[in-house]
Chain A
């Protein structure tokens, strides 16, 4: 018998749960103040997240998927991306989207049940939130193929959860990305749960990162609650992809500290003790502790940031609440580039039966 292949999967962390350095930090973290924007983005995301849940609970927002506890993943990958790269997120990447310039009011508009929230004014080529699990991974290899065909030095960055790695879409997409050495980075936000099914019931694989090995490229694991580790791994992977070195799969280990969505009750399938055991590992506290230890953050800074984030969220909420509901013709008008003649009669009928309140908001149909 001969061993024909042998692999290893690494796990990387720079800051432990107390904010203590476990190894020398990468270059971007040499100047502690340089990490303040990452901290700010995580605090902003968490403030937004709590407010969105509150809006839902008071009937002012639709079903919402919180990213509580996973703020470091999106923050880290967005910090590693260039503006011209393309993000293909799932529904738990608010921290990445906000950092990429998607307006908070747009995200709220989407979660309120209005497609207009996906017409991002910021990153115009980023994909909208993807709900059908893992399907965006196929889109990501298409985006990356377009970059490759046009010889553009851009990278597609695709985020998804642990459950997504069980789907055929994931395997088909990573397999193709490996064969074609596409400029794409796959980020698995492994938050230990696909709604109620825990990681151990999702896959017998020791790591999810190792699934990349079967596709012929590197898979690695990072502490997804350590924003330094996430950003470092993403920078390495995105840089390699941009230079033609092909794809990477990053498994970012984290924990979903709250329900799957506001329509879920996690108490049905996991103990509160389990959740409370994970709170000390969450990402904000450790970075704050590190910044404080480095003398780069004070109590006053923290208080000012909380006020600033609250104001920003309030301003987004005000903007969101002032959006008029979508006019009923929106169902028809963006379906095709031009409305096909046969659909004209249905459009007219829809407008004739439109609820008066909605009809009153549309120009020309008031």
Chain B
């Protein structure tokens, strides 16, 4: 079994699913000849041809919009948006159509599409290339929002997303694309959607994160372990619909919770989790829930990126606050 990166795992899942299901097609900017700017679609054009691997004109609105039309006809389009900063023009499609085609036609037409894109910063990319857009999509009823945190999870979750009968926004953490390697069995097995994943069990506090922040949380947990503190790390791999139950159960045991997100704080997805804990888990809490997030600032250019993104120091400070709370 080969060790692969997260972007390789995405590529592996696409190759496998296109071979298994002739209805799966890939479309987007530079996904064909170029293999995608991150090489997520490498080799697909050569193997499956231009009828199924489509280099589109440079037009995000129609990329998302046509995926709706293709999906309504029973194809399973996997549309790539090159960078999340260019995904904003797809919101109209995803909110007004993809998410509600099934509902507005009472199931007559459906929309089994995947809109995948890199998400978040940390790779010193140019302006508009490092946005964290998950909360925008997670607000939309009818969508699924999925974020993998490792090569294995990218492989299994992407298969699940493609096979899902409803639209899925699949956000690939840019920073993790080539950060870690992991053995991934190319066995065609999908992981479950709509459920959180316990990345590490612990008893003293709960760290809740998704995407690249899972790695920060795991690094913090490792350091805490050396101090004799046992942190549970929950990977919220499906943000929408949110499996709050797993988080509630964890916090019921630990009594303390820190939520870590890369996106700006206000209206961020961490706020939804914190609100859920306040509504349903208040009596389990031994300390106020803490959010560690990007600031309510515009995502800065690379020179200040490290000042914006939550890192170990900021997470540890929040951990101290919940542990030391009297």
Residues of A at under 8 Å CB distance from B? 86, 88, 115-116, 118-120, 124-125, 127-128, 132, 135, 137-149, 156, 168-169, 172-173, 175-176, 179, 330, 334-337, 340-343
Contacts and interface: CB of A to CB of B under 8 A. Distances in A.
B194 interface: yes
6 contacts: A128-B104, A132-B97, A139-B97, A142-B68, A142-B69, A142-B70
B229 interface: no
Contact of A119 (B97, B108, B142): B108
Contact of B72 (A143, A337, A343): A143
B56 interface: yes
B288 to A, nearest CB: 24
Contacts of A125: 72-73, 109
Interface string B39-67: 00000000000011010110101101111
Contacts of A120: 105, 108
B66 A176 contact: yes
A83 B103 CA distance: 24
A149 B52 contact: yes
Contacts of B103: 115, 334-335
A138 B69 contact: yes
A251 to B, nearest CB: 21
A175 B63 CA distance: 12
A138 B141 contact: no
Given A169-B62, A176-B57, A334-B107, A127 B166 contact: no
Interface in B122-143: 141-142
A342 B59 contact: no
B243 to A, nearest CB: 6
A146 B74 contact: yes
A139 B94 CA distance: 12
B252 interface: no
Nearest to B141: A335
A340 B65 contact: no
B110 interface: yes
B204 to A, nearest CB: 27
Greatest chain B CB density within 10 A among A139, A149, A330 is at A139
**How many B residues are at the interface, by size bracket?**
35 or more
B96 A142 contact: no
B83 to A, nearest CB: 18
A278 B106 CA distance: 40
B56 A341 contact: no
Given A146-B74, A156-B69, A176-B57, A335 B102 contact: yes
B3 interface: no
Contacts of A143: 69-70, 72-73
Nearest to B68: A139
Contact of A144 (B51, B69, B74, B166): B69
Classify the interface of chain A: helix, strand, loop or mixed. helix
A128 B69 CA distance: 12
> Chain B CB within 10 Å — which of A173, A340, A341 has the most?
A340
Contacts of A135: 65, 92-93, 96-97
B93 A341 contact: no
Given A172-B59, A342-B243, A343-B241, A115 B66 contact: no
Residue of B57, B62, B166 with most partner-chain A CB within 10 A: B62
B166 A173 contact: no
A119 B68 CA distance: 17
Contacts of B51: 148-149
B191 interface: no
B242 interface: yes
Nearest to A130: B97
The 8 closest A-B pairs by CB, nearest first: A142-B69, A138-B65, A142-B66, A146-B73, A172-B62, A139-B69, A172-B59, A119-B106
Contacts of A335: 100, 102-103, 141-142
Contact of B102 (A142, A148, A337): A337
A342 B241 contact: yes
B165 interface: yes
Contacts of B286: none
A139 B141 CA distance: 20
B69 A145 contact: yes
A233 to B, nearest CB: 23
Interface string B67-91: 1111111110100000000000100
Contacts of B75: 146, 149
B308 to A, nearest CB: 31
A277 to B, nearest CB: 37
B290 to A, nearest CB: 23
A159 to B, nearest CB: 15
A279 to B, nearest CB: 35
B244 interface: yes
B61 A342 contact: no
